[in-house]
Amino acid sequence: MSMSRETLAKNTQINAALQLIETLRDSEKGCPWLSSRSFEDLFPYFLEELYEYKEAYQTQGPQSPEARQELADLVFQVLLHTALMKEQAPESDLEMIASDVVKKLMRRHPHVFDKNHTPYKTAEEAGKAWEELKAKEAKEANRHTELTESMADKIDRIPKAIPSLQRAARIGEKTHSFEFDWENPGEVLQKVKEEMSELEEELKRSPINPKDIAEELGDVFFSLAQLARHLGHCPEELSYQANEKFIRRFRATESLAKERQLPWKELNSTQREALWLEAKIKLKSSK
């Protein structure tokens, strides 16, 4: 399929983008690379664009040209997947997908769109109601499997492709709905300490078993994700922020060494640690 400028002008920008993608997907006249890509080929790019948008949003700000460009790349991925879906199921066009969005939002927000529904007072109430409606819909859509589906099956439906710390928190949310959870953050902290103790015991063994250490370390990560959840934080976001803080401190440490003409490779561990602590104090005082 090819398009003239006049054709583009007659379409909304979204429709124009979809038609451009169809042109690029044409096996004869389109782009050889893009026309040969499958869903499986494109999923990694979808995730990559999502994280690039997140990084631009957090580092440059939501109104920045960088954030807008990355969001445009993410929208392109959505439209591209829509085009691929239409290739396999012609009835599944963007209009139908948008219609599904409208129906779901109306269905999941009766407190907004149903005048006879009592409004929720807090975000927690609305969030809980969303999950309950979601579970009810899943049950109605899978009546033939619902009787045989275990609680573990429901947990296993949490997408495996999402970041592992985020998935750990979602697992905790799901088990919480099954009334299998710690009562408060203090109890989770005790679990973290318990897992740390088990890791320490493995490290004391001689010879150490790398497989057992990896397992215990994984338990530490999982329990920390649950602690973050109980404290109202996303563990994936906390990990991201910690990475960024480390990079800032290391950059400041390197700058101090350069200012004093101290070759990094010639410094011992004590000198490097001293520079690190000084950089840490300097950054805190500049806040």
Question: Distance between CA atoms of 154 and 135, rounded to whole angstroms?
Answer: 10
Residue 265: what pLDDT?
95
| CATH code for the domain of 54 | 1.10.287.1080
Say if 36 falls within a structural domain: yes
DSSP 265: G
How far CA 247 is from CA of 219, 228, 242, 252, 253, in Å, comes to 26, 22, 9, 9, 10
With 0-12 / 13-18 / 19 or more C-beta atoms within 10 angstroms meaning exposed / middle / buried, residue 89 is exposed
| DSSP per-residue string spanning 93-110 | -HHHHHHHHHHHHHHH-H
Nearest to 53 by CA among 36, 67, 32, 38: 67
Say if 51 falls within a structural domain: yes
The enclosing H or E element of 196 equals helix 185-204
Residue 148: what pLDDT?
65
Nearest to 155 by CA among 137, 134, 133, 177: 177
Among 92, 112, 132, give the residue marking a domain's end: 112
Q: What pTM, to 2 d.p., does this model score?
A: 0.69
Residue 11: what pLDDT?
59
For residue range 39-70, what is the model confidence (pLDDT) as tens digits? 999 988 998 899 899 889 988 999 999 999 99
Residue 26: what pLDDT?
93
Say if 180 falls within a structural domain: no
Residue 1: what pLDDT?
47
The enclosing H or E element of 3 equals none
Among 78, 112, 146, give the residue marking a domain's end: 112
Say if 261 falls within a structural domain: yes
Say if 117 falls within a structural domain: no
Q: What is the mean pLDDT of each run of 10 residues along the chain (287 residues)?
A: 52 84 93 93 89 90 94 94 91 87 91 89 86 78 62 88 92 93 97 98 96 97 97 93 94 96 96 97 87
For residue range 231-242, what is the model confidence (pLDDT) as tens digits? 999 999 999 899
**Tokens 């499958």 correspond to what residue?**
38
Question: Distance between CA atoms of 234 and 165, rounded to whole angstroms?
Answer: 8
How far CA 16 is from CA of 9, 31, 45, 216, 263, in Å, comes to 8, 17, 22, 53, 56
Question: Distance between CA atoms of 53 and 212, rounded to whole angstroms?
Answer: 37
Q: Which domain holds residue 249?
A: 238-285
Say if 262 falls within a structural domain: yes
Cβ contact 183:177 at 8 Å: no
Question: Distance between CA atoms of 258 and 278, rounded to whole angstroms?
Answer: 14
Domain total in the chain: 2
Q: Which residues contact 82 (CB under 8 A, 6 or more apart)?
A: 18, 92, 93, 94, 97
Say if 29 falls within a structural domain: yes
Residue 153: what pLDDT?
87
Question: Distance between CA atoms of 262 and 221, rounded to whole angstroms?
Answer: 37
Residue 5: what pLDDT?
57
Say if 35 falls within a structural domain: yes
